[in-house]
Structure 1
Amino acid sequence: MTNTPVTALLSRDSGETLIDQIARSVAARIDDKLLRGGARMPSIRQFAAAHSVSAFTVVASYDKLVARGYLESRRGAGFFVRERSPLNTGERSAAPAAGASTSEEAADGPGRPLDVVWLIRHMFNASPTQKAPGSGVLPADWLDGPGIASALRAIGRQHASLLLNYGTPQGFLPLRQQLQRKLAELEIEAAPGQIVTTVGVTQALDLVAREFTRPGDTIFVDDPAWYLMFGSFAALGARVIGIPRRADGPDMVQLAQLAALHKPKLYIINSVLHNPTSTSLSAAKAFQVLRLAEEHGFTIVEDDVYCDLHPGPAVQPATRIAALDQLQRVIYLGGFSKSMAANLRVGFIATSPEWAQRLADRKMLATLTSSDIAERVVYKILSEGLYRKQVDRIRARLDTVRARTVRQMEKVGLKVGVAPTAGMFVWADAGVDTSVLTERAMAAGLLLAPGSLFSPNQLPSTRMRLNVAAMQEPTVWEFLGREIGKG
């Protein structure tokens, strides 16, 4: 593409920022087929010179267009108009104008055993000085607090009715449109009507379990897996059975045998950056899991909350079962608590239109709506294009500390086995009962996550989950070295 202007004349007196004017004008030209898919956009320097704006303004405009699915960034080559297809063509509307609305819309006693409630209570009750290498989230200073604060202020300047009224049971429509584009990048086709927002992935799992199981039904989970759902499912009267997890996915022999025996209703699986091992499902096993689901009649619930911490299939293999199945037998879950902010509590479910309506109704009966304010904040961050750079920085920082941390683990006597190449977790073998180790850690002001909690049977384990982003304090290494005996 030449360096001729690609926008209408810009106005500095219109009340609309130059960034928004450029993004709106370029998007309109793409929608009107004046800019064709695959066309190379002018370089940042060329665009800035042609339109008498700063390079910063051009970068911010291009980033916003990338976030909205109009452009794509190719490393070392520049920005290009994204090929428009049903998977990545969302509705053209951005955030509604101010005032507009959318129509679719106890303290532990002595000797208390270590269990899921114990760990969660201590996670929330931890003092600011307590170190938490067993934590499941990134440290606050790794995240974009100023960006979230800015988005909150922007939402606060909108019409008061947007802040005071209920949202919609299915979720804020512009956010669901944005999620449609996000899913398209994962090769998952889902219209906004197939997406239901939730109060994090925790509520998403609860809604799915309540809708699709009854007391006495069987739910399969990975073993090890995220511990919170064990107690949640058991409280519903479900029987929870673990499927041994290998480096490339579940043990297929065990899965086939147990599926034939127990006829589960659901199988909950992390396909990408499994918690707690940070391993990912191979393409071969993804096909096998889907085949078994069809053979035995169970629904796959794919929890992809760590999606944005994965560098992408161009860097590392990553197969999502929902991309193979296109939401026929797979219910896909996602969220932003791990990479944006845990306190926003915004997650989502993507599924078939029929199931989406059923789950939206169940959500409405449980909580009426989720937080419209939080969903507007997440939408603004995603649509402004800043989130993409933030997760790039997080992944780069994790890559920097992960290799160093794994080496240090081995020095103090922890066995890592297959070292993860992405994500924040390491599933390490301490060679001792990690429940006992965790009790000693508490006395030293450290919070660990013992392996026993990550299995449905909760038997003693020498494994524990360690968060590489939360292990940068010398006191953590001093404790591990002293207790494991090789420090």
Structure 2
Amino acid sequence: MTRVEQVMQAIRQRIAARLLPSGAKLPSIRSFAEIMATSKSTVVDAYDRLAAEGLIQSRRGSGFFVAGHLAPLTLAEIGPKLDHAIDPLWVSRTSLDANDGMLKPGCGWLPASWMPEDGIRRALRALARSNSSTLTDYASPLGLQPLRQLLSRRLGEHGIEVSTNQIMLTDSGTQAIDLLCRFLIEPGDTVIVDDPCYFNFHALLKAHRANVVSVPYTPNGPDIELFAQALKSHCPRLYISNSALQNPTGAALSPLTAHRILKLAELHNLSIVEDDIFADFEHEPAPRLAAFDGLNQVVHIGSFSKSISASLRCGFIAARQDWINGLIDLRIATSFGGNRMGAELVLFMLKEGGYRKHMDGLRTQLARSMGDTITRLKALDIVPWNEPRGGMLLWCRLPDGIDAAEIAKYGLEKGVVFAPGNVFSQSQTANSYMRFNVAQCGNSRIFDVLSEAIAVQATSANA
């Protein structure tokens, strides 16, 4: 873009992000010229063009103001415009809309054939025989009490002491984070995320107009020195992370790092959301921040989308009692009642002995797939960043000079959905990395396409 177009784009993005709402005054020509490191005449030209488009209006002697009504929130317009290959929202759409013929080594869920279908069918038959209130009535805002009692016992196995009334069911882990963002932050507040981290964290925080700051992630958790610097420099309100089988790296938080994070959180009055969606995939439990903290500044969330069924949409929030009371009101305001049938199905699955047997077999199956996938990737000079202690996700470095976004573009042409590293990176510094789902890597065509894509890039670089 020309310099004038760059200034215009910067104003459009501020309006799309609602940093400049309807009627707001734009920065002065002098100040915005300094911000954009350009001339005042360039800003004058840009403002005149935006006024001609009707996006802003000039008021003699007062400056320029945003015209019209508040624009609909468009997440894709917030922040820099990304290529489709590394746009998290576009990659998510592609994975969710992909037909059965598409291969999806970049998605974050298990193949349907790996899920406990027989147990789900038994649960559905049992639910069909339930009383009419179970099938038709609204659920309590807290959610099904027997399931919350069971969750309390399960959390206790990880050292998280929590009463039934400190647990609120949600329709998913994503809804849990959305409610907590509504509850804990205001537009403009700073939120810390890992780099790399689950890409939907980025999208959700955009929707809440948060200022996102990322901290590099290590095999033991966030880089603690840089984490401390970020807290001191940015005064964040919230930190969102996984403590076990972090997405996308598969790494686990060490006890030492966990203790240091909590000390810093206490010092800086930082709230923490601990996303534990992969809890049942661990071979050996990692430390939980919520266990060390006692649910004082840490909120613990989970879901059964990965282990039982993504169709059920059942998750939960475990938090201190006074926060749960506030979250109940938000839950009523945004969705009124909960998903009662989904909760009943999850309860049936967890109480039935087949679930533990299913997860035992699934962990074994995933470990085998992890080994096979690592072997096949190493043959292409694609090296794991670490070897996870469980789960389905593998974070890998590509051969020198190979761009993951270009691999993703080539893959789409061949019917393969990959997950390039910068989809997960707020700082956009992971272009040489890629996330693989080992459960979705059973088809040899995936590795053939990878090999072809690497060869094409290497040939282009040498030309």
Taking structure 1 as the reference length, what is the TM-score of the superposition? 0.75
What CA deviation, in whole Å up to 9, does each residue of 1:245-284 have, x standing for no partner? 0000010110001101111111011110000010100000
What CA deviation, in whole Å up to 9, does each residue of 1:180-229 have, x standing for no partner? 11111111111110001111110011110110000110010111000112
State whether residues 425 and 467 of structure 1, in contact with CA within 8 Å, keep that contact through their aligned partners in structure 2.
yes
Match of 1:438 among 393, 408, 418: 408
State whether residues 269 and 303 of structure 1, in contact with CA within 8 Å, keep that contact through their aligned partners in structure 2.
yes
The correspondence of residues 95-134 of structure 1 with structure 2, limited to 5 A, is 112=84, 114-134=86-106
State whether residues 132 and 448 of structure 1, in contact with CA within 8 Å, keep that contact through their aligned partners in structure 2.
yes
State whether residues 413 and 485 of structure 1, in contact with CA within 8 Å, keep that contact through their aligned partners in structure 2.
no
Match of 2:440 among 451, 462, 470: 470
The correspondence of residues 7-46 of structure 1 with structure 2, limited to 5 A, is none
Judged with a 3 Å threshold, the aligned counterparts in structure 2 of structure 1 residues 230 and 189 are, in CA distance, closer, same or farther, namely: same
What CA deviation, in whole Å up to 9, does each residue of 1:442-475 have, x standing for no partner? 0100001111110123456111110011001011
Counterpart residue identity of residue 140, structure 1 = A
State whether residues 407 and 450 of structure 2, in contact with CA within 8 Å, keep that contact through their aligned partners in structure 1.
no
Match of 2:120 in 1: 148
What CA deviation, in whole Å up to 9, does each residue of 1:94-130 have, x standing for no partner? xxxxxxxxxxxxxx9xx75641111111111101111
Counterpart residue identity of residue 192, structure 2 = F
Q: Distance in 1 between matches of 2:334 and 2:252?
A: 33
Judged with a 3 Å threshold, the aligned counterparts in structure 2 of structure 1 residues 199 and 444 are, in CA distance, closer, same or farther, namely: same
Structure 2 residue 134 is matched with structure 1 residue 162: yes
Match of 1:451 in 2: 421
The correspondence of residues 276-315 of structure 1 with structure 2, limited to 5 A, is 276-313=248-285
Judged with a 3 Å threshold, the aligned counterparts in structure 2 of structure 1 residues 113 and 402 are, in CA distance, closer, same or farther, namely: closer
Q: Distance in 2 between matches of 1:198 and 1:319?
A: 24
Match of 2:388 among 394, 402, 420: 420
State whether residues 413 and 484 of structure 1, in contact with CA within 8 Å, keep that contact through their aligned partners in structure 2.
no
User: What is the SS of the residue equivalent to 2:417?
Assistant: coil
User: What is the SS of the residue equivalent to 1:445?
Assistant: coil
Q: Distance in 1 between matches of 2:130 and 2:339?
A: 16
Q: Distance in 2 between matches of 1:399 and 1:299?
A: 34
Match of 1:461 in 2: 431
Q: Distance in 1 between matches of 2:375 and 2:389?
A: 13
Q: Distance in 2 between matches of 1:370 and 1:387?
A: 23
State whether residues 404 and 421 of structure 2, in contact with CA within 8 Å, keep that contact through their aligned partners in structure 1.
yes
User: What is the SS of the residue equivalent to 1:331?
Assistant: strand
Match of 1:56 in 2: none
Counterpart residue identity of residue 141, structure 1 = S
Q: Distance in 2 between matches of 1:365 and 1:246?
A: 39
Match of 1:53 in 2: none
Structure 2 residue 384 is matched with structure 1 residue 402: no
State whether residues 413 and 481 of structure 1, in contact with CA within 8 Å, keep that contact through their aligned partners in structure 2.
no
Structure 2 residue 319 is matched with structure 1 residue 381: no
User: What is the SS of the residue equivalent to 1:286?
Assistant: helix
Counterpart residue identity of residue 181, structure 1 = R
State whether residues 84 and 91 of structure 2, in contact with CA within 8 Å, keep that contact through their aligned partners in structure 1.
no
User: What is the SS of the residue equivalent to 2:426?
Assistant: coil
1:418 is displaced (CA, Å) by: 2.2
State whether residues 249 and 385 of structure 2, in contact with CA within 8 Å, keep that contact through their aligned partners in structure 1.
no
1:417 is displaced (CA, Å) by: 3.4
Q: Distance in 1 between matches of 2:375 and 2:329?
A: 49
Judged with a 3 Å threshold, the aligned counterparts in structure 2 of structure 1 residues 471 and 428 are, in CA distance, closer, same or farther, namely: same
Match of 2:41 in 1: none
Q: Distance in 2 between matches of 1:284 and 1:294?
A: 16
User: What is the SS of the residue equivalent to 1:216?
Assistant: coil
1:137 is displaced (CA, Å) by: 0.3
C-alpha RMSD over aligned residues: 1.6
Q: Distance in 1 between matches of 2:371 and 2:349?
A: 30
User: What is the SS of the residue equivalent to 1:343?
Assistant: coil
1:484 is displaced (CA, Å) by: 2.0
Aligned residues, how many? 374
1:312 is displaced (CA, Å) by: 2.5
What CA deviation, in whole Å up to 9, does each residue of 1:404-445 have, x standing for no partner? 210110001212132223111111112321111111100100
User: What is the SS of the residue equivalent to 1:369?
Assistant: coil
State whether residues 276 and 302 of structure 2, in contact with CA within 8 Å, keep that contact through their aligned partners in structure 1.
yes
Could you list the runs of 5+ residues in structure 1 that have no partner in the other structure? Answer: 1-107
Q: Distance in 2 between matches of 1:367 and 1:434?
A: 39
Q: Distance in 1 between matches of 2:418 and 2:263?
A: 38
Structure 2 residue 324 is matched with structure 1 residue 356: yes
Q: Distance in 2 between matches of 1:422 and 1:484?
A: 28
State whether residues 412 and 485 of structure 1, in contact with CA within 8 Å, keep that contact through their aligned partners in structure 2.
no
What CA deviation, in whole Å up to 9, does each residue of 1:43-90 have, x standing for no partner? xxxxxxxxxxxxxxxxxxxxxxxxxxxxxxxxxxxxxxxxxxxxxxxx
Match of 2:184 among 185, 207, 212: 212
Q: Distance in 1 between matches of 2:349 and 2:420?
A: 35
Q: Distance in 2 between matches of 1:412 and 1:482?
A: 10
Match of 2:47 in 1: none
Match of 2:146 in 1: 174
Match of 1:245 among 217, 228, 245: 217
The correspondence of residues 64-75 of structure 1 with structure 2, limited to 5 A, is none
Taking structure 2 as the reference length, what is the TM-score of the superposition? 0.79
User: What is the SS of the residue equivalent to 2:311?
Assistant: helix
Counterpart residue identity of residue 211, structure 1 = F
Could you list the runs of 5+ residues in structure 2 that have no partner in the other structure? Answer: 1-75, 77-82, 459-463
User: What is the SS of the residue equivalent to 1:163?
Assistant: helix
Q: Distance in 2 between matches of 1:300 and 1:163?
A: 36
Structure 2 residue 234 is matched with structure 1 residue 262: yes
What CA deviation, in whole Å up to 9, does each residue of 1:329-354 have, x standing for no partner? 11001111111111111110001011
State whether residues 398 and 432 of structure 2, in contact with CA within 8 Å, keep that contact through their aligned partners in structure 1.
yes
Q: Distance in 1 between matches of 2:359 and 2:417?
A: 26
Q: Distance in 1 between matches of 2:85 and 2:249?
A: 24
Structure 2 residue 165 is matched with structure 1 residue 197: no
